Every structure is written in C-alpha cells, then in structure tokens.
Amino acid sequence: PILADVVAKKGTFHFGSTYDTYEADQAWSTSTFGTFYRHVVSENGCKWDATEPTQGVSDLGECLATQSFATENGNTFRGHNTFWHSQTPSWLPGSFSASELVDTIIPQHVQQEIQGMGASVTSWDVVNEVVGDGVSNGMTALQCVQNKGDWPTVTADGSGQPLVTDLSFIYAAFNTAYEYAGSSTRLAVNDYNTGGQDAKTSCVISLIQNIQENTNIPYDRLAIGFQSHLTASTGGFYTKQALASTFSTLAALGVSAMITEMDIEVASDSTAYLRYQAAIWGDYLDACLYASNCFEFINWDPRDDLSWRGAAAAATLFDTNGNPKPAAYEVAARL
C-alpha cells in the first residue's frame, strides 16, 4: 500500500535484488522475483570481465540472459556496471597509454554494453567505486578519485608516474553512456560507505557536480548510487535522518539517489539481531520511498546462502532455506 502511493506520486519505484542465471534454486528465484522483488540487477554478468573478455569483442550473453529473466517475470532491469577497477578482463589494465584508454577503450566498452542492453535499462552504474576511503572534507573531485589509489589513476608501467592525471576517463564513460543510453535511463556514480554527512559522501556529490559541469549531461539524468553494504554490530550504517538529508541535498540539484546494493551483516542470527537488522532495513527503505528523488532500492543477493558476505553474515532478507526473515516482513509491509 505504501509503494502504490509512492508510485502514484513519483511515477516509478523499483524494488529488487541481484540475480545470475547460474544461481542455485531457479524455482525459488522465479517465484521470488515473480512476487516479491520486481527489479533485477545482474550480480556479475554485466561486469567488464564478463562482457568484453577479449578486447573489442562484446559478449553480453549473461548480461542479456539476466535481463531476459527480468522481462519474463515482469520485472525491470538495471545495469551494473560499465567501469570498475575490479573484475576487469585479463587484458586490462595492460600497458595501454592514457589516451588509448580514454579515447578508445572506455568509449568502445561503454558503447558496446549500453547500446547492446537497450533503452529499457532503468539506470547504469557508469563508474563504480572510484572514490577513495581516506578522503577528507574539502577535497576536489580529482583528489577524491586520486585518493582511491587504483587503476587508472596509479602507475601502469612501474614508472611511478600515474597513468591518468585528470578525470577525463570518467567524462569519457559518462559522455558515451549519455549518447547510447535510453532517454530516461539514469547514469550513476556508485560507491560504498556513502549516504550520510561525511567526507566520502561529499566526494561523490562533488564528483557528480564535476561530471555535470564537464559533460553537460542534464542533472536529472544523473544519479548517485549508495551501495549500502552495512554492518549492524559495529554501527556501520546511517540513520534515516542522515540519509534523508543527503537525498534532499541531491534533490535540490536535481540528481537522483538510489540504494543499489543493500545488505546488512549481523553478528549472529539471534532474534535480537534479526529484529535490529529489520529496523535498519525499514529505515533505509523509508528514506528512499519518502525522498522525492529516490526511485530504486536494490538488495545485494536475495538470500543468505547466495550472499557474497557469506551465509554466516545472515546479511539478506531470506534465510539459507529461502524463507523470509524479520527484515523481509519489515520490507513487505511497505510494498
């Protein structure tokens, strides 16, 4: 009932989780994505190593198969991701020059993938995890990205000289994405440990502004994805109020917010922890549902035995038998 009101007010709202065709228990997936989750993200099938294993040769097989699964179950589909320093094909980073990377390799990959997946994709993580963890307030967008200390802002040839010294690789990815994506597909910067009032969140906001200024992509096509891989026992999560404040900062710019990869590790699956987990899940979902500019909410892995955080982390909505946990009821009450 809450979801219906939200859709009436905002036009769309996508609630979903990850799926890959090689996951166990297909019958469970079909039934759960047919009734509970209504939106699909491929967990690994649209990453660069899967989609361009040989340079210049596009292979969207698994990415398209997950999209077909979504369509067959009446679900929508979002894309993750076109650029990430991790899960790259074996030919990357290689020994390419900065200009080969920025002028050819990135645009070619982004075009192949975004054009190949079609205009119905709700949003793309155009760049994933490009901001560092050791950032401080007041850093420029370039400093935020250099702080990451990963390819391609670090040395590629052992010379000690960084491969790229500006953000043109990010502009190249966004310019290409904008050219080939559907006219309402949102284009996102996606990162973890973001959402509240802190230096890393300031960095992703600076970065999206910097991208807009350097590409002229309209703000209403840009988004920030807040991954939200949380840890309950160590306080590794934001309050509803902190999220709401960040989302409204973005709304003032015209930029969308999305919760893209939510899971919550708990110290044990005691009743107390499962209730704690449910409360945090409800806060995050409410922050997104009630924000004018948050249209997507995605859980990373649909059940504990499939979770990248390990089954013992009990980090998802469904237990290892596929049965709903307290957090699933918490979420369902809003759908």
- List residues binding ligand XIL (CB under 6 A): 43-44, 128, 227, 261, 308
CB of 306 to ligand XIL, least distance (A): 9
Q: Between 96 and 300, whose beta carbon lies closer to ligand XIL?
A: 300
CB of 314 to ligand XIL, least distance (A): 16
- For residue 326, say if its preceding peptide bond is cis, omega within 30 degrees of 0: no
CB of 261 to ligand XIL, least distance (A): 6
Q: Between 148 and 244, whose beta carbon lies closer to ligand XIL?
A: 148
Q: Between 87 and 97, whose beta carbon lies closer to ligand XIL?
A: 87
Quickly count: other Cβ atoms within 10 Å of residue 324's Cβ: 16
- Rounded Cα distance between 258 and 188, Å, is 9
DSSP for 123-176 reads: EEEEEES-S-SS--TT--HHHHHHTT--TTSSBSSSSSSBS--SSHHHHHHHHH
Q: Between 78 and 244, whose beta carbon lies closer to ligand XIL?
A: 78
CB of 260 to ligand XIL, least distance (A): 8
Sign of CA dihedral 91, 93, 95, 97: positive
**With contact defined as beta carbons under 8 Å apart, do 126 and 174 qualify?**
yes
Q: Between 49 and 103, whose beta carbon lies closer to ligand XIL?
A: 49
Q: Between 185 and 227, whose beta carbon lies closer to ligand XIL?
A: 227
CB of 308 to ligand XIL, least distance (A): 3
Q: Between 61 and 254, whose beta carbon lies closer to ligand XIL?
A: 61
CB of 48 to ligand XIL, least distance (A): 11
Q: Between 178 and 226, whose beta carbon lies closer to ligand XIL?
A: 226
| Amino acid identity, position 158 | G
- Rounded Cα distance between 100 and 170, Å, is 14
Q: Between 170 and 244, whose beta carbon lies closer to ligand XIL?
A: 170
- Rounded Cα distance between 103 and 234, Å, is 43
Residue 33 CB contacts under 8 Å (≥ 6 apart), including other chains: 16, 17, 19, 40, 69, 70, 73, 75, 302
DSSP for 23-43 reads: -S-HHHHHHHHHHT--EEEES
Query: Strand pairing of 76-80 and 123-128?
Result: parallel
CB of 218 to ligand XIL, least distance (A): 25
**With contact defined as beta carbons under 8 Å apart, do 296 and 78 qualify?**
yes
Residue 100 CB contacts under 8 Å (≥ 6 apart), including other chains: none
CB of 99 to ligand XIL, least distance (A): 27
CB of 152 to ligand XIL, least distance (A): 18
Question: Nearest residue by C-beta to ligand XIL?
Answer: 308
Angle ∠(86,92,94) on CA atoms, nearest 5:
135
- Rounded Cα distance between 145 and 208, Å, is 12
